Homo-oligomer: A and B are copies of this chain.
Amino acid sequence: MPSLDDTTRGRVLFGGDYNPEQWPEETWREDVRLMRDARVNSVTVGVFSWARLEPRPGVRDFGWLDRLMDLLHEHGIGVVLATPTSAPPPWLGRLHPETLPRDADGRVEWWGGRQHFSHSSAVYRRYAAAITEDLAARYAAHPALTMWHINNEYCTADHGDEAAARFRGWLRAKYGTTDALNTAWGTAFWSQRYDDWGEILPARHTHYLKNPAQVLDFRRFTSDMLLECFTAERDIVRRHTPHLPVTTNFMPLFFGQDAWRWAEEEDVVSVDLYPDPRDPVGGARDGALVQDLTRSQARGPWMLMEQAAGAVNWRGVNHPRPRGLNRLWSWQAVARGADAVCYFQWRQSRQGAEKFHSGMVGHAGERGRTFQEVRRLGAELERIGGEVAGRQVTADVTVLHDWHAWWAAEQDGRLSSRAGHPNLLAAWHRALWEAHLTADFAHPEHDLTGRRLVVVPQLYLLTDAAIDNLRAYVEGGGTLVCGFLTGVADEDDRVRPGGVDPRLRELFGIRVLHEWWPLGEGETVGCDGFRGTLWSEEIEAADDLDERIDYRGGELDGLPAVLRRGRAWYVSTLPEPDALRALLARIAAGAGVRPVLDGLPQGVEAVRRGELLFVLNHGREPVTVAVPGPHRELLTGVAVRDEVRLERFGVAVLRP
């Protein structure tokens, strides 16, 4: 199978989405001049070109794209060519209103925006396949073509009638009989027993709480239908260009797709990443999480398909990236495994819904600070990209994450609306990041053999296989730390006996889990040495714990907050950030896992990739960092010995 290496060929890709149909052709020539100036070597073309390529049903207009591909090739710029299927032309919805999705309330999602297609519509799928086929046939042999990009940020659910029919088919394939479905969904509750497949609906609006297993399966179905759309197009382009890799761009930690499963269907895993530049340290933390997750899905180098050179336009208040931050965050991505640093988009639009989303060439143009910083970054990446491309990141900690657990937990009718999966994931990953421990992610059924420390911030749903996997991992000598609400439900969102699976209770030394005690806004719970937030639990511990940290004060006084039996830890609250960091650092040390560098100040990040050591200063004040031994700093070419100084938002790439 082709891979990202087939596109990078030893370089780090640098570029972005390029939407030349928004500009007169004379601007194209200006564009390639600036691209060369900025060392752009890859652009993504055609993401939203369907109405241009197929102005009316069945008609094709490829001339402009022919000219563009030639022009880019002439200037040595590779093309990631997109199928345009995420934004069907207005004529499709007009001719075939059944291609439009409906939300849970029955509202039609009309054309006039984007992503207004029903994954379940046979008509949509037919038109999407036809344009993909013609596009692939036409450009398969074009020398500029380096990769395929299918659709864009798949995300649209559908609750309409055609989706209902497909949902029934999906359920039939999964369960075989309505009896099996009734058992899995627990339809004995609230008289929801289905007597016939035709009675089953998508998770539409109801008077009161919906069946959570139905909601869970509807989320699985939605991810799968979108994936079917992806693989159908992928298979078409693959037939034409078996030697070129295929990707589709994820949104970061996006709720709607089981990205573990999707990644298996991609040749290249790519992601769109937009941390908030109003908080450089917080943004770096958020970015690191997504980068680690994406790298883990890719099982190696990955592609930063979209970031913003400046501001985005969808937060309440949108800042540009302050001076130096674009460079810093781009190097952070490379440090954490990216072999491509790309943007949405090359030239900022003057019209349309995203004209206040920044571009590599902003409204201020060539003289603008933003482009000038892009230009300097392009030169750096060109210069030393070859030292990193294709290399593996060193990570000693493994964090488990699973979309099905998230889907099951993120529902109405739970004990707390505050203890959501992404919050927990962020809090635990932050603790590792602040402890300077580099983390990979894994699925709970992945082989964990050889991992030294596995961390589970929260996996509400765990399959039997996953539970056995965790147990085998600990039995095999691994260290495991689990947060609360882990292993509560089985794969049908059925609460396991005792509220947490008995095998896990045995593992951690929990004799009885009497009650869950979620904490409200601003509420904390005392523990020996720290305060817990968000959650607490009334646990009766086994007598043979190896270690415990107890609650102090309140209803849980004297009960265990943290339990350890052997190498298995259970943390029944969310310790405050410093406490969680200290706890994880201690556990890591016990597992033989040390920080990337010792003595790093807060806000400084260090990552090893291949033989290189990246050190990143996320603060606005200069810092000096101890780096034992002699290194060469590749950006400056200067030799450093035992310490390196980093300016505001500074980066050092050190080779021993």
Binding site for B on A (CB under 8 A): 19, 21-22, 48-52, 55-56, 84, 87-91, 94, 101, 105-116, 156, 185-196, 198-201, 203-214, 278, 310-311, 313-314, 316-320, 322-323, 348-357, 362-365, 367-370, 412-418, 492-495, 497-499, 512-521, 538, 555
Q: Which residues of B contact A348 (CB under 8 A)?
A: 495
Q: How far is the CA of A356 from the CA of B192 in the complex (A)?
A: 18
> Is B52 a contact of A499 with CB atoms below 8 Å?
no
Taking a contact as CB atoms closer than 8 A, the residue among B115, B189, B495, B519 that contacts A317 in the complex is: B519
> Is A56 a contact of B195 with CB atoms below 8 Å?
yes
Q: How far is the CA of A458 from the CA of B313 in the complex (A)?
A: 19
> Is A113 a contact of B191 with CB atoms below 8 Å?
no
Q: How far is the CA of A49 from the CA of B89 in the complex (A)?
A: 47
13 more CB-based (< 8 A) A-B contacts, given A22-B189, A116-B206, A364-B498: A87-B192, A108-B204, A112-B214, A113-B207, A113-B208, A186-B355, A208-B353, A316-B416, A349-B495, A362-B499, A362-B515, A363-B513, A368-B514
Q: How far is the CA of A498 from the CA of B87 in the complex (A)?
A: 29
Q: Which residues of B contact A211 (CB under 8 A)?
A: 112-113, 352-353
Query: Shortest beta-carbon distance, A60 to chain B, in Å?
Result: 14
Q: How far is the CA of A175 from the CA of B414 in the complex (A)?
A: 47
A192-B111, A201-B112, A351-B492 as given contacts; A51 in contact with B187, CB under 8 Å: yes
Query: Shortest beta-carbon distance, A503 to chain B, in Å?
Result: 16
Q: Which residues of B contact A354 (CB under 8 A)?
A: 189, 209, 413
Q: Which of A156, A311, A317, A323 has the most CB of B within 10 A?
A: A317
Q: Which residues of B contact A116 (CB under 8 A)?
A: 206-207
A189-B352, A191-B50, A515-B370 as given contacts; A204 in contact with B112, CB under 8 Å: yes
Q: Can you report 27 A-B residue pairs in the complex whose CB atoms are below 8 A from each other?
A: A48-B189, A55-B195, A56-B195, A84-B191, A87-B192, A94-B198, A101-B207, A107-B205, A111-B201, A111-B206, A113-B210, A114-B190, A114-B207, A186-B349, A186-B350, A186-B351, A189-B352, A213-B352, A317-B415, A317-B518, A317-B519, A318-B416, A319-B517, A350-B495, A355-B495, A362-B499, A368-B514
A94-B199, A353-B189 as given contacts; A369 in contact with B515, CB under 8 Å: yes
Q: Which residues of B contact A19 (CB under 8 A)?
A: 188-189
Q: Which residues of B contact A193 (CB under 8 A)?
A: 51-52, 55, 89-90
Q: Which residues of B contact A499 (CB under 8 A)?
A: 362-364
Taking a contact as CB atoms closer than 8 A, the residue among B55, B322, B364, B514 that contacts A512 in the complex is: B364
> Is B107 a contact of A494 with CB atoms below 8 Å?
no
